[in-house]
Amino acid sequence: MDLAQIQIRLRECIKQSSYSQKEIAKEIGVSAQTISKYMKQNIFPALDTLAKLCKLLDVRSDYILGLCEY
């Protein structure tokens, strides 16, 4: 799995969540613009931020990274 596919999975999980991008940003300690960049650009979060996102979105990091299927 390449970085583009990982980003697609991350975007899908964010879109499918019950949280707005603003709410996600507040919960994980980044700006709303940063979440927007994850959604629209080829920007990937730092590992600590990815961990926070996974916990908030209730998704396994190994799924995001393509190590398992959901």
Determine the pLDDT at residue 70: 63
If one counts every other C-beta atom within 10 angstroms of the C-beta of residue 5, the result is 12
CA–CA gap between residue 26 and residue 24 (Å, rounded): 5
At residue 40, the pLDDT reads 86
pLDDT tens readout for residues 3-57: 888 889 999 999 999 999 999 999 999 999 999 998 888 788 999 999 999 999 9
Which helix (H) or strand (E) segment is 11 a member of? helix 3-16
Domain ranges of the chain: 3-64
Are the CB atoms for 15 and 36 separated by under 8 Å? no
The Cα–Cα gap between 22 and 33 comes to: 9
pLDDT of amino acid 2: 81
**CATH of the domain spanning 3-64, picked from 3.20.20.70, 2.120.10.80, 2.60.40.1930, 1.10.260.40:** 1.10.260.40
Instruction: Using CA atoms of 36, 49, 23, 3 in order, give the dihedral in degrees to the nearest 10.
Output: 40
Q: Which residue has the higher pLDDT, 69 or 61?
A: 61
